[in-house]
Amino acid sequence: MVSDGLPGHYKKTNAVAQMVQKRFAADVQWLNVKLRFGGYRTLMRYMLNHAPHMPDARWLNLFYDIPDGLPECPDMIISSGGKTSFMSAWLGAHYGSPCVFIGQIRGIEKRYFTRIVASNYDFQEDGKHIRSVPATEIDPDVAEEAAEQYLTATGLPVTRRWTLVIGGDGGGYEYTESDWRQLRNTACQLAKQHNIRWLVTTSRRTPVFAEDLFLGPEMRACADDVLIYNRDQRVVYNAFLGCAKVIVCLEDSGKMLTESVASGRPVLSVRPPIVNTNERSWALIQRFETAGYIKRLTLDELGRESVTDFIANHRGPAEPLMKRVREEVNEYLSTLTWAA
């Protein structure tokens, strides 16, 4: 598994790796890398698409910091994230190994990839493509098991809890300091309206100003736990989803929104006033909204518009979101000679 260290990319890669491990007694090894300079992507893309023969894989050391060195010949390469796509394609060509990529391939010729797991592609009819929402390891059973372990470990009493999943600027979404204050104040208001306690988790993109707000006394008065991602290394994200009767998720992250939906809980998808989503993000949001998995609200509407009927009538996905993806991955794995 090739990882650039970003948690969202790691989780998507690991979700597919787990599908492989459930079928085979596979030994998963992680290759952590860091692109030395962003401009190298253009050069590597040109080399991959136009060079008659790729140079030796040792050349990758010029473009990437690879602390553990290059791997021995792997049976399969799995990765996610644009910065790792070039290395994965190069390694796959060098070793002749099957290469599975999760996400957009950034203009690299698709011949380098054996399977591409993504929500939308220009070549969706191509047999390489496995159409998927952002790959996730979460389903209701995973979330509930994590919740049970968390409640046992913390000794928190059984009560009605909602979970607030916070992102930050990105993907066409922008938040002002006023927006963050409004979200905090509305969360406190909702706690009184619905007689609930909060579990709060931020993300790597959450600004320090917002982190401090949600660590403040106003939020602490109505929250049982606040995980500040950039300051707290506890692994309780799945547990927070599993403990929730309702999840309030900021809409800027397709990954977080998918994980919230995959947990099977009612999801209030909240957006700031300034939104300019790209086509892929909007397609995912529409898919969830049309299916009735989420109720979309602006920050102004959250706390003012009734959500009682949506929560009462909510029906989550009839089957885990990743079920069809797992089936297609398994079908592909069955074709591999080393897996026979």
Long-range contacts of 245-249 (CB under 8 A, 24+ apart): 245/160, 245/161, 245/162, 245/196, 245/311, 246/162, 246/163, 246/196, 246/307, 246/311, 247/162, 247/163, 247/164, 247/165, 248/162, 248/163, 248/164, 248/165, 248/187, 248/190, 248/302, 249/164, 249/165
pLDDT, one tens digit for every residue, the chain (340 residues): 898 888 888 888 988 888 888 877 778 899 999 999 999 999 999 999 998 888 889 999 999 999 999 888 889 999 998 899 999 999 999 999 999 999 888 899 999 999 998 876 555 667 788 888 888 889 999 999 999 999 999 999 989 999 999 999 988 899 999 999 999 999 999 999 999 999 999 999 999 999 999 999 999 999 999 999 999 989 999 999 999 999 999 999 999 999 999 999 999 999 998 888 776 678 889 999 999 999 999 999 999 999 999 999 999 898 888 888 888 888 888 887 765 5
Question: Using CA atoms, how far apart are residues 149 and 233, in angstroms rounded to an integer?
Answer: 17
Q: Where are the domains of the chain?
A: 2-133+323-339, 140-313
pLDDT at residue 128 in the model: 85
Domain 140-313 has CATH 3.40.50.2000: yes
Question: Using CA atoms, how far apart are residues 172 and 282, in angstroms rounded to an integer?
Answer: 10
pLDDT at residue 283 in the model: 83
Distance of CA 210 to CAs 26, 106, 131, 292, Å? 41, 32, 35, 30
pLDDT at residue 293 in the model: 96
pLDDT at residue 45 in the model: 94
pLDDT at residue 134 in the model: 83
